[in-house]
Structure 1
Amino acid sequence: MSDLHELSASEQVRALRAGDVSSHDLTEHYLARIDRLDRQLGAFVTVDAEGALQDAARADELLARGEPGPLCGLPLGIKDLFATAGTRTTFGSATTAEYVPAEDSWTVGLLRSAGAVLLGKTNTPEFGATCYTENDVTTRPAVTPYDPGRYSSGSSGGAATAVAAGLLPVAHGSDSAGSIRTPAATCHLVGVKPSRGLVSPAPAIGFVSAGTEGPIARTVADAALLLDVMAHPAPGDLYGWRPTGGFADAATRTPGRPLKIALWTETGVDGVETHPESVLAAQRTAALLRELGHDVREIPIPVTLAEPVQQAFVAWFGYSVSAAVSALVPAERRNLLQPYSRYLAEAGDALSGNEVVQTQSVLARYAGGFLGALDEFDVALTPTTSAPPVRIGHYHEHGVEAVGNRMLNWSCHTPWANLTGQPAISVPSHVDGDGLPHGAQLVGRRCHDAELLSLAAQLEDAALWEDHHPSCWS
């Protein structure tokens, strides 16, 4: 059974239902790989082997009775920003390292009800505030298995590392500024950020939310498999909506018509050029889309990341971290915060209510510029990141005050889609001569998630990317 992880998640589900493999054997296979490989990769914060094997035993009983849920028996990891009943949820912070929730978050509950076997919690930065995954809970940052000296991005870095290294078949992630898409790009994976409201943030409540949960997977079909389970908004969700059909079905068909697609590769950041390999990722994708009959038109970037917008992003990060720290961290434990988190929390604490509203207004105008410019297009196409995966320590080379802008320089292609609420997906493009992965981002119309998945599946079927794996895969 040394090759079980070679099967896609969809193939594993079919093998479980056919009785070709048991959930117990599948779970033990992944637990053994985690035990053997994760010390060098930093994918997990917590591994619950005992609980996972209990979940697997229950799944095997349901499979034997012919009563499986859609994920019955499939091993899964949950990002450690989301509550898991009975399993510690650290939020990537030493300040809350021993917190054990009494209840699951809404989406975790859906995944459990679907029969998933929860192996543990995947690595995330402190309160999810950075596009790199490094904290004081784990001894190693989450790294891309393609080069363990480089981050697998964040804040869903652990999830992407786990899937790319064959420690999980598919993983749960979340994305507030690119946190599913940029890790997917650094690990040669598919990462889906759904439209606002498709996946409920419950029990969190807010009038404005840039973040949402979504899947990280090896294939479009695997991402759709997980998204079908997650896409059931909680009752009372302000933005909740339900799709008219299944996403797994959407991933088996091509778009029903040629799509009009806008392409740009500029970063929009003064003085920051997109790396040639990142440009190539978008251009390769555009060329194939044209061959498939779509109308791809190169346009100037609709809105730049001017200094006021960058300042607004950093202020918004500060406000968000300040709110999390106020809600979760007792005053006597604030000394355990990492330096950048402390910097953000203090900056957020200093904001007045008027300044928070002004920050939201700047970001709303920035987002509105994209919506207006893209009104005539079905899809936007960009690189996912402005450069290859970065080396460990890169973001702190010029002190905590520079971290926010250095992150935006690298991840500048993704945050706008969070603010507009549009669905976005990062698909693999290629692995460069240094062995580093690069991805392309596709952004669709709001609530047209199924069309976007169909387009990504069409690219996959047309062999936009090869089936690469890192050296630890075998």
Structure 2
Amino acid sequence: MTEPHELSAVAQLDALRAGEISSRELTEHYLDRIDRLDAGLGAFVTVTPEIAMADAARADERLARGEWSPLCGLPLGLKDLYPTAGIRTTFGSAALAEYVPTEDAWAVGLLRQAGAVIMGKTNTPEFGAACYTENDVTARPAVTPYDQGRYASGSSGGAAAAVAAGLLPVAHAGDGAGSTRTPAATCHLVGVKPSRGLVSPAPASSFFSTVIEGPIARTVRDAAMLLDVLARPWPGDLYGWRPETSFASAATRPLARPRKIAMWTGTGLDGVTPHPQSVLAVQRTAGLLGELGHEVHEIAIPAGCDGPVRQALKDLFVYAVGTMAPTLVAADRRHLFQPYTQHLITAAETMTAAEVVTAQTVLARYASTFLAGLDEFDLALTPTTNGPPVPIGHYFANGVDGEADLMLGWSCYTPWVNLTGQPAISLPSHVDGDGLPHGVQLVGRQRQDVELLALAAQLEDASPWADVHPPCWHQ
């Protein structure tokens, strides 16, 4: 007999609407799996059974009246970097372990309004500052269910671990330099970073922000369903926009013509070679795209990431985290920050305004080089990560001063897309001989998210990766 979590999120919604399962039954199923399995996965910071059951009861009442909304009765996890009214939001920091906001972030509010059943907050590194998910709030790092001795990446590591292990049907995530895509790759999932402005950052507002929320899911169609809910601009958005068609319909509609796709595996970093399995992932996907009728052209990476660019990335990261963290935490609790956060704050205190502006200028030029280099192509194909999920503790080998370089060497394929504002999606490629997942990244033109999702769905139909699961899936 098929267990509820074995159905796709879209199929679960269909079952809810048809009366084949109640939201209460579905919610109880997932709460039981969280209770039994999460201790080994570190997927959740906070689980909210009382709120979830109340949400489910309301959903069942609405369904009984014949009412419907896009996520009515579907369990969902929210990333712990985003405020949730009445539910603690720690930002992955022990300094904020008891903080309970009074208002929802804009996207969180959209998910609640759509009828989602809120199961809790998924694990994240402190202030989202790392591509691994380990903090002083939870007893366990977020690990990939394929090997519980390896990180599920970050900063959406908890979301990815939960979906891959069948603790959630789909999850809310956020991506500032790869934080949705790299966790998806470590957990054999689909992760979407939308075009700049598609998902509102409200209540935040900035002339220069690389962070955008999006879905982590098992299938492209599940991701498209959640993205349709999130893609609603706040009236004050500087870059807000909406597509003319839904992502759900794009994921079921064939592409009208073949696409011209650029491909590379070079890391752009001197002395950092591409991992053989990452190369294999791209080659496999390029071959499949060719069989589907698309043109794939191997090119050199349009811009390298060494010298001034690497320094600019570090400077902007230091400035963003090092100035934001102290504003959120009272002075008498800042001693609870982790060593890496303390390191970033200290570095930010010595930065000048000129250094910040210079970093932004260097990175703007870097992003423009990518856009110009890809102008003749419809999309780009790269690995998502430079190698498999890394062992717990990997990034601590060279102390806090060495963390940034180790992280960039592994996640080097993703940050440029946040700078250009293009849409990107990480798709599963294969599981290697050690049982570890690998993913590929597809990048579309700015605001061509619909086309990107359509191509991803075409690949999914040709290579049904949703049938691959970690060992705990059947527990």
TM range (shorter): over 0.9
Q: Does 1:229 find its partner at 2:215?
A: no
Q: Which residue of 2 aligns with 1:400?
A: 400
Does the Cα contact within 8 Å between 1:285 and 1:464 map onto a contact in 2? no
Does the Cα contact within 8 Å between 1:144 and 1:161 map onto a contact in 2? yes
Q: Which residue of 1 aligns with 2:339?
A: 339
Normalised to the residue count of structure 1, the TM-score between the two structures is 0.99
Q: Which residue of 1 aligns with 2:49?
A: 49
Structure 1 segment 64-75 matched on structure 2, within 5 A: 64-75=64-75
Q: Which residue of 1 aligns with 2:86?
A: 86
Q: Which residue of 2 aligns with 1:62?
A: 62
The amino acid across from 2:420 in the alignment is: T
Secondary structure of 1:427's aligned partner: strand
Q: Which runs of 5+ in 1 are unaligned?
A: none
Structure 1 segment 299-318 matched on structure 2, within 5 A: 299-318=299-318
Q: Which residue of 1 aligns with 2:262?
A: 262
Structure 1 residue 324, shift from structure 2 partner: 1.8
The amino acid across from 1:32 in the alignment is: D
Q: Which residue of 2 aligns with 1:184?
A: 184
Q: Which residue of 1 aligns with 2:162?
A: 162
Q: In 2, distance between residues paired with 1:21 and 1:428?
A: 29
Structure 1 segment 252-401 matched on structure 2, within 5 A: 252-401=252-401
Q: In 2, distance between residues paired with 1:468 and 1:339?
A: 37
Aligned pair count reads 474
Secondary structure of 2:16's aligned partner: helix
Q: Which residue of 2 aligns with 1:213?
A: 213
Secondary structure of 2:467's aligned partner: coil
Q: Which residue of 2 aligns with 1:463?
A: 463
Q: In 1, distance between residues paired with 2:467 and 2:428?
A: 10
List per-residue Cα deviations over 1:85-110 (Å, max 9, x = no partner).
Answer: 00000000011111100010000000
Q: In 2, distance between residues paired with 1:68 and 1:59?
A: 9
Q: Which residue of 1 aligns with 2:422?
A: 422
Q: Which residue of 2 aligns with 1:109?
A: 109
Does the Cα contact within 8 Å between 1:81 and 1:127 map onto a contact in 2? yes
Structure 1 residue 307, shift from structure 2 partner: 2.4
Q: Which residue of 1 aligns with 2:439?
A: 439
Does the Cα contact within 8 Å between 1:124 and 1:158 map onto a contact in 2? yes
Structure 1 residue 466, shift from structure 2 partner: 6.0
| RMSD of aligned residue pairs (Cα, Å) | 0.9
Structure 1 segment 142-157 matched on structure 2, within 5 A: 142-157=142-157
Secondary structure of 1:85's aligned partner: coil
Secondary structure of 2:78's aligned partner: strand
Secondary structure of 1:440's aligned partner: strand
Does the Cα contact within 8 Å between 1:429 and 1:464 map onto a contact in 2? no
Secondary structure of 2:456's aligned partner: helix
Q: Which runs of 5+ in 2 are unaligned?
A: none
Structure 1 residue 464, shift from structure 2 partner: 6.1
Q: In 2, distance between residues paired with 1:186 and 1:254?
A: 28
Does the Cα contact within 8 Å between 1:318 and 1:346 map onto a contact in 2? no
Does the Cα contact within 8 Å between 2:326 and 2:334 map onto a contact in 1? no
The amino acid across from 2:295 in the alignment is: D
The amino acid across from 2:343 in the alignment is: Y
Q: In 2, distance between residues paired with 1:349 and 1:94?
A: 22
Does the Cα contact within 8 Å between 1:71 and 1:115 map onto a contact in 2? yes
The amino acid across from 1:323 in the alignment is: T
Q: In 2, distance between residues paired with 1:465 and 1:349?
A: 46
The amino acid across from 1:146 in the alignment is: Y
List per-residue Cα deviations over 1:174-219 (Å, max 9, x = no partner).
Answer: 0000000000000000000000000000000100111100000000
Normalised to the residue count of structure 2, the TM-score between the two structures is 0.99
Does the Cα contact within 8 Å between 2:218 and 2:466 map onto a contact in 1? no
Secondary structure of 1:351's aligned partner: coil
Q: Identity of paired residues, percent? A: 70
- Runs of 4+ that moved beyond 2 A: none
Structure 1 residue 2, shift from structure 2 partner: 7.3
